[in-house]
Amino acid sequence: MKIALFPGSFDPITIAHVDILKRALPLFDKVIVGIGLNSAKQGFLSAAQRQNIVNAVFDEYKQVDIQLYEGLTVDFCRKIGAQFMIRGVRSVGDFEYEKAIAQINQTLMPEMETIILLSKPEYSAISSTIVRDILRYGGNVSAFLPAQALPFL
């Protein structure tokens, strides 16, 4: 069984994240969306809110599972039996960062491969950071988030 992890903070999940995951689904038998929790960072949305949103977005996709995790992502991969990690990139800067992380992860867990999917051009400007800023100031984020997320905000 081919199991992949799609890790991220998903604070909040955007339409760009959803697009990457939907495009990755045909490649794997099971995809676990790993909502990473970092105790050193204060999230905008609580862990429970993020998990509820991602559950609502992927409720109809039986091969998708949503889990919270802390610690090293490669340790979580081992725990869930994931042989692949899905990452999305929007720009050259994203690629350089993801390349470095993938190479370090390859050293820490040689049996795991990182699969990098390029963002569609129409989603390349969308980031959780920008969406959080819009939310903080009461702006309309409906163009950037999946419709299922809006009732949770």
> What was the pLDDT predicted at 81?
98
Q: Structural domain tally of the chain?
A: 1
Q: What element of type H or E holds 30?
A: strand 30-37
Phi and psi for 114 in degrees, rounded to 5? -95, 130
Catalytic annotation, pick one of 41, 46, 78, 91: 41
> What was the pLDDT predicted at 86?
98
User: Which amino acid is residue 84, in one-letter code?
Assistant: F
Query: Token match 């809006």: residue?
Result: 150
- pLDDT tens for each residue of 20-55: 999 999 999 999 999 999 877 778 999 999 999 999
Residue 42 · residue 14 · CB < 8 Å: no
Catalytic annotation, pick one of 9, 17, 50, 87: 17
Concatenating the DSSP letter of every residue in 2-24 gives -EEEEEE--TT--HHHHHHHHHH
Cα radius of gyration rounded to whole Å, the chain: 15
Catalytic annotation, pick one of 9, 50, 119, 128: 128
Cα gap 83→80, rounded to integer Å: 9
- pLDDT tens for each residue of 86-121: 999 999 999 999 999 999 999 999 999 999 999 999
> What was the pLDDT predicted at 143?
97
Q: Provide the CATH number for the domain around residue 80.
A: 3.40.50.620
Q: What is the average per-residue pLDDT within 128-146?
A: 96
- What three-state secondary structure class fits 127? coil
Concatenating the DSSP letter of every residue in 37-84 gives E-TTS--SS-HHHHHHHHHHHTTT-TTEEEEEEES-HHHHHHHHT--E
Average pLDDT along the chain: 96
Q: What element of type H or E holds 89?
A: strand 84-89
Q: What is the average per-residue pLDDT within 61-81?
A: 97
Range of the domain at 93: 3-152
In the predicted structure, residue 150 carries a pLDDT above the cut 90: yes
- The yes-or-no answer on residue 119 being catalytic is no
Query: Among 91, 86, 75, which Cα is nearest to 124's?
Result: 91
> What was the pLDDT predicted at 41?
75
Catalytic annotation, pick one of 9, 87, 90, 119: 90
pTM of the model: 0.95
Q: What percent of the chain lies above the pLDDT cut of 70?
A: 99
- The yes-or-no answer on residue 41 being catalytic is yes
Angle (CA) 48 137 57, round 5°: 35
